[in-house]
Amino acid sequence: MNLKSFLACALVVLIAVPGMHAQSRFEPPDVWRQFAERLPAGSYLSVTLKSGPTVKGHVIQVTPDLLRLRPKKRIEVPVQDFRFDEIASMTRLKEGMSPGSKVLIGVAVGAGAIFAAFLVLLSSLD
């Protein structure tokens, strides 16, 4: 092993170790409880659990022990309860456009393009 490959390996280890260490640090449950208590009901959240999965949904209720969340899924699912000591992180999200709105915008753009092409065709016939 020459000096260049040894230095490259050492740099990779030095860069990777702090990142791996930072991912294993969790905030205490009181931080997430205080964060959730300040949110209005119906806020859209992304909740990452310490066990790994991430759930996105709307806040239904915040109690001293639990966060009740209605997951946002295509098919309706029941309200889920999460204990604050299970939560690794919470992020407030903005809700995007609904799929129906996106379809209507696409249809309107397509109709406008066809109408514009028709007008160009009419103007070229003179």
Are residues 59 and 104 located together in one domain of the fold? no
The total of structural domains in the chain comes to 2
0.85 exceeded by pTM: no
Where residue 74 sits, what CATH number does that domain have?
2.30.30.100
Mean pLDDT value of segment 56-84? 91
Residue 112 belongs to domain spanning = 97-126
Residues 6+ apart with CB under 8 A from 24: none
pLDDT-derived band at 98 (thresholds 50, 70, 90) equals: confident
Are residues 91 and 102 located together in one domain of the fold? no
Asked if 80 and 68 count as a contact pair (C-beta separation under 8 A), the reply is yes
Q: How crowded is residue 88: how many other Cβ atoms within 10 Å of its Cβ? A: 17
Mean pLDDT value of segment 39-62? 92
Mean pLDDT of the chain: 85
